[in-house]
Structure 1
């Protein structure tokens, strides 16, 4: 666990909005510090593991992978971690999410070009030992950056960084 201050929170928020096109100076202007402070803080956040990487958002349909699938699976809790590594090796799998509670404890997102990919991925998940509870064809996925590094205090109505 890393204690984040207001500067760290502001930097993280700005990076989530558009890390590729935000310069250190632009971020510095938003969080009211120098560009060198921003660069140093980003380096510290990376080495502490708070920032794990910078990933492109890919439009799979435009990339000729029009089929997006979501598999809701059950894995034995004691074997789940090992299974996740195997799942990530399946061609087409782009995301695996583990849940802590409930029978359905793995959500596997995959992409492909058609029904042959659906069958291949389904077979691979069964071979790993997963029970597929349901599979859905995804139409669209929307994500947004976490924007609660700053909050409005319901008691005074002013916006500011959360003090912990």
Structure 2
């Protein structure tokens, strides 16, 4: 086991499952009822999971089109010398919403960008290039479907809240 890896028990997995279902509206009391512990235990476990960097953030899922950003683009990029600082620089660019650094291959970054028009997207593409990346391909995203990782305590939790 990696020295930074955290061992999760059934309660931790149940809490993570409940958060993935709805982190905003599930109270610690409701999560506790679902996994069979008190609200105080849930708060303590959440604090430990956050400190251990198991839970890194609580981000909303945004419908960019409804928010006025009709274009969501996926840039596939190549960096001659991949570095973690590149991702940090990319995230500072207005319009960049996510960066994935890949371990293998020459196309080693996926950058998701939002904009209200093609001029905004072109501005972001130029800023990405200024960070030292070559934009190999740009694709307009239609829809993205995600689901929670279902191995975090679905069987531990009582019926979903």
TM-score in terms of structure 1 length: 0.87
Q: 1:42 to 1:34 in 2, by over 3 A?
A: same
Q: Which residue of 68, 73, 76 maps to 2:72?
A: 68
Give yes or no for the alignment of 1:84 onto 2:90: no
The answer for the alignment partner of 1:10 in structure 2 is 14
Q: How far does residue 150 in structure 1 lie from its aligned partner after superposition?
A: 4.2
SS at match of 2:49: helix
What is the root-mean-square deviation of aligned Cα atoms in Å?
1.7
Structure 2 unaligned regions, length at least 5:
none
CA distance in 2, matches of 1:148, 1:103: 32
**For structure 1, which runs of at least 5 residues remain unmatched after alignment?**
152-158
SS of corresponding position for 2:77: strand
- Map of 1:92-107 to 2, 5 A cutoff? 92-107=95-110
Distance 1:143 1:85 in 2: 24
Deviating above 3 A after TM superposition, structure 1's stretches of 4 or more consecutive aligned residues are none
The answer for the alignment partner of 1:156 in structure 2 is: none
The Cα offsets for residues 53-81 of structure 1, whole Å up to 9 and x where unpaired, read as: 2111111111101100000001123x432
What secondary structure, in the 3-state scheme, does the structure 2 residue paired with 1:82 have?
A: helix
1:115 maps to 2:118: yes
Higher relative contact order (CA 8 A, sep 6+): 2
Structure index of larger Rg: 1
How many equivalent pairs are there? 153
Give TM-score scaled by structure 2 length. 0.88
